[in-house]
Structure 1
Amino acid sequence: MNENILLVIFAVIVLLIAVGIWMTIRKRRTDHLRDRFGDEYDRTLDNAGDRTKAERALEEREERVDALEIRSLTADEHTRFATEWRDVKAVFVDSPVEAVLHADRMLATMMKTVGYPMADFDRRYEDLTVNHRDVARHYREGHAIVDRHNDGSASTEEMRQGMKHYEALFDHLVADAEGGGVDGATTGTTTGGTTTTAPTTRATDLDGDGDADVVRQDTDGDGRADRVAVKND
């Protein structure tokens, strides 16, 4: 067989192997990003209009967040924010708009406190999606309602839903605070000098209709109310 033909065949084989390796690496990259970001992968792809561009943007988020020093709230910070959050919810019945706007500002402050950069909402949201995609979705939907309010198109019911979404992010931020989770989430009984912590259920009625809109319950028996069940009417 002609030597030139052999060289061409060899080159084609090498090219096919290279393409196969490239396709395998790309598939693994895509699978990793889809698994980590979930629906956010598709949302980013829709916005970018190009898979390579979208995946590069998601990888940049990963690199950016990996360089951050995210920490838990201290006990004092937890107490301060828990007190402020109770005040926000107390205001909601009489002034939903004021309460939700306050919650929006407060959550931005909390994120800065634990180590997220004090950037605009889009940056905070993107950083949150890297490790907490479900909570990030609540944050995005809550903030979208605030934007609709600023445009004059959000109803009181939407503001109530926005508060529920923000509640999910608040509970996430306080869940790992030093000295315990959500403030007031457990009760203790003392028997023979030993204090036993018992799981409790706490409900929050955001709109004053007598029904619990947000329920915190200790579902795993660790004595902390760290799960949120949101009632959707």
Structure 2
Amino acid sequence: MSSTGIVVLVIVIVVLVAVGIFAWQAMRRRALQSKFGPEYDRVVEEQESRTAAERELRERERRHAELTLTPLTEESRARYAQAWEELQVLFVDDPARAVGAADELVTRLIAERGYPTDNYDDQLAHLSVEHARTLGNYREAHDIHLANERGEASTEQLRQAVVHYRSLVAELLGDEPVHTPRHDGPVTDAR
């Protein structure tokens, strides 16, 4: 084989390796985007680069894999479903207290499933691996809960918090997640 043939062969191999690496990275990126949904975009905005964001999301997956998550027993599931029903009834008479109770209920439910609850940011990171689609709702609900504790939440915001908590509760209980619209339209059923 001539030296020109060897050079061409080396160039072809280098190009094929580069294309393979590019395709592999694109596949990994699509997998993260698919798994994390809107959370992927949020983390990309937060980090200094897409590479750093993807490293953060892969690290979340690694830490999540170390957790010992347990499914709820039927008794626990029924207990949480009943508590949620009671919370919705409470909302009619005392929306502020209902939102505080919803935040506590979600924290207990998350803890019983095996997620750590000591640090809110860590809790969000762990939840994002399996519950990324409802995580935005949970963030908004928790923010409203904090505003409520400061006496700064309107009744409409409290109602929206309960709707947002509902989507995560439904998902954690194994029900179909309730995809709530992100607008101020009326909600007819808070279950």
Question: Deviations along 1:100-151, whole A, 9 cap, x unmatched?
Answer: 0111011111111011122322222222222222222321221122233345
The normalised TM-score by structure 2 is 0.79
Q: Which moved more, 1:9-18 or 1:156-165?
A: 9-18
Matching residue of 2:15 = 16
Alignment of 1:149-168 (within 5 A): 149-168=148-167
| Structure with the higher strand share, 1 or 2 | 1
Alignment of 1:40-189 (within 5 A): 40-175=39-174
Question: Deviations along 1:56-90, whole A, 9 cap, x unmatched?
Answer: 11111122222323222113322332333233222
Q: Tell me if the contact between 1:72 and 1:173 (Cα under 8 Å) persists in the aligned partners.
A: no
Matching residue of 2:184 = none
Q: Which moved more, 1:145-154 or 1:87-96?
A: 145-154
| Structure with the higher helix share, 1 or 2 | 2
Which consecutive unaligned segments of at least 5 residues does structure 2 have?
Answer: 177-186
Among all aligned residue pairs of Structure 1 and Structure 2, give the percentage whose two residues are the same amino acid. Answer: 32
Question: In structure 2, do the counterparts of structure 1 residues 157 and 9 end up closer, same or farther at CA, with 3 Å as the change threshold?
Answer: same
Q: Tell me if the contact between 2:144 and 2:161 (Cα under 8 Å) persists in the aligned partners.
A: yes
Task: Determine which structure has more spread, i.e. the larger CA radius of gyration.
Answer: 1
- Quick one: higher RCO (CA 8 Å, sep 6+), 1 or 2? 2
Inter-partner Cα distance in structure 1 for 2:167 and 2:73:
19
Inter-partner Cα distance in structure 1 for 2:105 and 2:167:
13
State the superposition RMSD in angstroms: 2.7
- The residue identity in structure 2 corresponding to 1:116 is Y
- The residue identity in structure 2 corresponding to 1:99 is A
Q: Tell me if the contact between 2:39 and 2:132 (Cα under 8 Å) persists in the aligned partners.
A: yes
Deviation at 1:170, TM superposition (A): 1.6
Which consecutive unaligned segments of at least 5 residues does structure 1 have?
Answer: 182-210, 216-233
Alignment of 1:218-229 (within 5 A): none
Q: Tell me if the contact between 1:125 and 1:136 (Cα under 8 Å) persists in the aligned partners.
A: yes
Question: In structure 2, do the counterparts of structure 1 residues 32 and 79 end up closer, same or farther at CA, with 3 Å as the change threshold?
Answer: closer
